[in-house]
Structure 1
Amino acid sequence: MNIVVLIKQVPGTDNVKMDPETGVMIRSGKDTIINPLDENALAEAVRIKNSRDDVKLTAISMGPESAMKALKEAVAMGADAGVLLSGRAFAGSDTIATAKALAAAIKKLGPVDLVICGERATDGETGQTGAMIANNLDIPVQTYVSALEVKEDGVVVKRTVEGGFERVEVPFPVLVTVNKDINEPGFPTLNGKLRAKQVTIPVWGPEELGVDKSELGLGGSPTRVVKVFSPKLSRDTIMKKADGSTKPVDELIKFLTEKEAL
């Protein structure tokens, strides 16, 4: 059984920076982490791997060379191998171009039974990439998964939906996006860290994927960030000092009445 887990390295919540000229997120900072929901995806993939004898687990990430750290961490957590998609051709990819590249990488690995990824990434919050990858692979997708059970020929998932849950059985191959309720991510073991130091993680570019450069990066991204700016909040503050009379209260009531707040 072949499982692929997709992980993304994202800036720390307080360290998100955008290029005001291109509208592209700056990802060269050192303060980066694995996307939290991708940690849940990785933990679930490792759980499945440890429960069976026939599983190969490969982690894939797309990003700058610094994303190699995230893949090493995935191996330390229990993944068998990792693949990094990196190069200038990928820079500025939107969700469409990203999904195309990741789908090509999954195809290159050969027949894959199960693809697991986080529901969304903290740096974009779109929740689109997983479903787009499934579309490119022409396989079914199950989103908002909070529980996952592997059967001989498929999976049974519990989906969080409005007003409750859905229980769905889907045959292999299938892609699932998980939410934070599926598990509690653990920590790498000492043996895992030692193995991560020794593992060689290949770096693939457009040539290895067999994807034309024009379909990747900014050139292959039909969506654009038109403008990046910090919102400015300006309020006129009116101070009324209590003087022992009812005048300040009367003025407040008058103000709220004018604003139709009463």
Structure 2
Amino acid sequence: MKIVACIKYSLDVSEVKVDPATSELRLAGVPLRVGAIDRHVLEAAVVLAQKHGGTVHGLTVAPASARESFRESVAMGLEDMTIVENTGLPADPAVTAAVLSAAIQKMGDVTLVVCGETSDDGVSYQVPPRLAERLGWPLLNYARNIEYADGWLTADRDLDSGMQKARTPLPAVLTVTQETNTPRRPTLMDAVKAKKKPLNVWQPAGDLGLSVEALEARALVQRVAQSGVVVRRKQVMLSNGDVTAMANQLIDALVAEQVIKEG
């Protein structure tokens, strides 16, 4: 089984601030890192490979300068990591899916592609289904309790209305959530071994035969505006009286704000 784990070099959303005067996002200086959900992607892929035999290969679209940021990902059990260098490509799900599809086809003999259900920063939910469509493979998403037997992948799909058991033949695209598993922590020996594993950098044009102009023409999303939500807190201190008196003050304040109803 040859598995490709698609991961993303994302904005650290915990570091994004909002300008209280203009509601604009302050993105300057926000660091980039491998997304939190991508650790769950790697764990799901590596567990399948270890249980059923096979290899896991990492794939991302990112700046070439980010190569060393993926060493920990390699240490989690990857055979290698391939970075398709982002040379000013549009941040568009259709473009990303086209690039990933071309890279997966170049890798050859891929049995399964594992993705995060959505990225930490983009949150579009579009890349995995678009990737499955381009590859012509079925998509099994929101997966938990993933099992493989006799060429079929089975999982519980975690839906809003409950759990649904589904299965699909391979090759296929699988997506996981942060509730799917608990990612492992690489050991020191894993980190040492990771330093000897390949970190490949491919060019969209030279290695994949993709025209940047053609990719730009695929972009379907146009950013009209972006703004953050500023939550202005009341910052009311309840400090007078004993616990019972402060509890009554709190209830009165919640009733006045119509958070709860009096009665």
Fold equivalence (TM over 0.5): yes
How many Å separate the matches in 1 of 2:83 and 2:25? 20
Matched, 1:45 2:49: no
1:149 aligns to what?
147
How many Å separate the matches in 1 of 2:148 and 2:11? 33
User: CA offset at residue 233 of structure 1?
Assistant: 7.7
How many Å separate the matches in 2 of 1:233 and 1:172? 46
Partner letter of residue 119 of structure 1?
E
**Which segment is superposed worse, 55-64 or 7-16?**
7-16
Check the 8 A contact 2:9/2:62 in 1, yes or no.
yes
1:80 aligns to what?
79
- The structure-2 alpha-carbon separation of the partners of 1:233 and 1:145, relative to structure 1 and needing over 3 Å to count, comes to closer
- The structure-2 alpha-carbon separation of the partners of 1:46 and 1:232, relative to structure 1 and needing over 3 Å to count, comes to closer
How many Å separate the matches in 2 of 1:129 and 1:17? 26
1:243 aligns to what?
none
Identity %: 27
Q: Which runs of 5+ in 1 are unaligned?
A: 236-254
User: CA offset at residue 66 of structure 1?
Assistant: 4.1
- The structure-2 alpha-carbon separation of the partners of 1:168 and 1:230, relative to structure 1 and needing over 3 Å to count, comes to closer
Partner letter of residue 38 of structure 1?
D
Paired residue secondary structure (2:60): strand
How many Å separate the matches in 2 of 1:161 and 1:126? 17
2:102 aligns to what?
104
Paired residue secondary structure (1:10): strand
1:12 aligns to what?
12
Paired residue secondary structure (1:202): strand
User: CA offset at residue 126 of structure 1?
Assistant: 1.2
1:201 aligns to what?
199
How many Å separate the matches in 2 of 1:64 and 1:16? 20
User: CA offset at residue 199 of structure 1?
Assistant: 2.0
How many Å separate the matches in 2 of 1:27 and 1:143? 34
1:144-183 alignment to 2 at 5 Å? 144-183=142-181
How many Å separate the matches in 2 of 1:2 and 1:109? 10
1:64 aligns to what?
63
How many Å separate the matches in 2 of 1:180 and 1:14? 16
- The structure-2 alpha-carbon separation of the partners of 1:4 and 1:166, relative to structure 1 and needing over 3 Å to count, comes to same
User: CA offset at residue 68 of structure 1?
Assistant: 1.9
Give TM-score scaled by structure 2 length.
Answer: 0.79
Check the 8 A contact 1:35/1:121 in 2, yes or no.
yes
2:32 aligns to what?
32
How many Å separate the matches in 1 of 2:103 and 2:34? 20
1:214 aligns to what?
213
1:126 aligns to what?
124
User: CA offset at residue 162 of structure 1?
Assistant: 2.6
1:252 aligns to what?
none
Aligned CA RMSD, in angstroms, stands at 2.9
1:217-228 alignment to 2 at 5 Å? 217=216, 219-228=217-226
What is the CA deviation profile of residues 210-230 of structure 1, one whole-angstrom value per residue up to 9, with x for unaligned ones? 22212335x541211112344
- The structure-2 alpha-carbon separation of the partners of 1:132 and 1:17, relative to structure 1 and needing over 3 Å to count, comes to farther
Check the 8 A contact 2:16/2:25 in 1, yes or no.
no
Instruction: Count matched residues.
Output: 233
How many Å separate the matches in 1 of 2:161 and 2:232? 39
2:21 aligns to what?
none
What is the CA deviation profile of residues 201-254 of structure 1, one whole-angstrom value per residue up to 9, with x for unaligned ones? 11111221122212335x54121111234457899xxxxxxxxxxxxxxxxxxx
- The structure-2 alpha-carbon separation of the partners of 1:140 and 1:85, relative to structure 1 and needing over 3 Å to count, comes to same
How many Å separate the matches in 1 of 2:26 and 2:150? 42
How many Å separate the matches in 1 of 2:121 and 2:26? 8
Check the 8 A contact 1:5/1:42 in 2, yes or no.
yes
Check the 8 A contact 2:4/2:58 in 1, yes or no.
yes
How many Å separate the matches in 2 of 1:184 and 1:232? 32
Check the 8 A contact 1:63/1:84 in 2, yes or no.
yes
Partner letter of residue 196 of structure 2?
Q
